[in-house]
Amino acid sequence: METLPATIEAGALPATIQAETDAAHDFALAEKSAATRRAYRSDFAAFTDWCRIRNAEPMPASPETIAAFLAAQATAGAKASTISRKAAAIRYAHRLAGHVLPTDSETVKIVMRGIRRTIGTAPDQKAAATADRIADMIAGIPAGTLAGKRDRALLLLGFAGAFRRSELVALTVADLIEVEGGLRVTIRHSKTDQESVGQEIAIPAGGKLRPVEAVRAWLDAAGITEGPVFRPIAKGGRLLPGALTAQSVALVIKAHAKRAGLDPAEYAGHSLRAGFLTTAAEHGANVFKMMEVSRHRSVDTLRGYVRRADLFRDHAGAGFL
């Protein structure tokens, strides 16, 4: 799937600029994040397999073929968001190959509108790991093990910084600077910073959950002085090289949610981020101060957290219901 657009195909250019052509190829692919490219590859492979079984041409595909594929996905029970991503993957593959974009056809657009109207587009939101739930989760973590110290630090830092799981696993020791009052953390790349300008947030030392203390205890116990902050641990407590995966973050959260008596199916990587924002809203935090931590670009995105926290506050029916 990851081929050059027609305008910079290697065969259309002199061999003397092959190195520059290769660099152009790499930069073209870097337009999308690695995670997005992996998802697109998987989605386009599924589309290709579907076409092969039906003797249809996947590249370039006709609008009618794509519309039929998307309808088949909806009939099979896929969510509207998943179907939209598959359509985006097909579009991306055609754009990279230099083809006219069949997904721009009104035929495909009408089918997608009908799918959204029929299925609905409400997101399947995971539960927010609010401050009290985080306290319950860390209370059951064995304090004397290396894995316990790591998981405690991961949950508390992830919560305190409203981190996305991809941001958590990308942190290195160089990104953490201890200062009076807590930690200054540099996030070098994120969903809202695709060009890696870098964003810095503050993690207070705290007097209840004490996230900074947990991070320091983990780094000291693991002997980590450089490289990834959060790393996998083998059976027997042996620290492994490299960074923890984003999927592992979700599994850690689910494991400790279950330990705390919560339904693990309701918790995932986003629960830490949602939990901080929900707790901040419940405590009346200024929305702009919340944005400093979460790095949201739009107040509208945060409005849902604030609205849920204020749902019963000064309710219109409070005086007569």
Segment 298-304 mean pLDDT: 74
My answer on whether 166 and 200 are in the same domain is: yes
* 145 and 91 within one domain: no
Q: Could you tell me the CA-to-CA distances from 215 to 14, 156, 200, 307 in Å, in that order?
A: 53, 8, 17, 32
CATH number at residue 267: 1.10.443.10
Q: What is the pLDDT of residue 193?
A: 47
pTM above 0.75, yes or no: no
pLDDT > 80? residue 99? yes
Active-site positions? 164, 191, 270, 273, 296, 305
**pLDDT of 38:** 85
Quick one: 232 and 114 in the same domain? no
Query: 203 and 183 in contact (C-beta within 8 Å)?
Result: yes
Range list of β-strands (E), the chain:
176-179, 182-187, 199-204
For position 3, what pLDDT does the model report? 47
Does the pLDDT at position 139 exceed 50?
Answer: yes
Gap between the Cα atoms of 83 and 305, Å rounded:
27
Q: pLDDT tens, 217-249?
A: 999 999 999 999 999 998 888 899 899 998 999
Q: Which two tokens stand for residue 163?
A: 């981190």
Tell me which of 123-137, 149-163, 275-289, 292-306 is least confident. 292-306
Quick one: tokens of 39? 């998802």
Verify that 172 and 264 share a domain, yes or no: yes
* Res 235: pLDDT: 84
**87, 119, 151 — which closes off a domain?**
119
Q: How confident is the model at residue 124 (pLDDT cuts 50, 70, 90)?
A: low
151 and 63 inside one domain = no
Q: What pLDDT score does 286 carry?
A: 82
Q: pLDDT by residue (tens digit) across 158-177?
A: 999 999 988 999 999 999 99
1 lies in a domain?
no
> What range does the domain containing 27 cover?
6-119
Task: With a cut of 80, say whether residue 111 has pLDDT above it.
Answer: yes
> Residues 63, 17: one domain?
yes
Residues 262 and 143 in one domain: yes
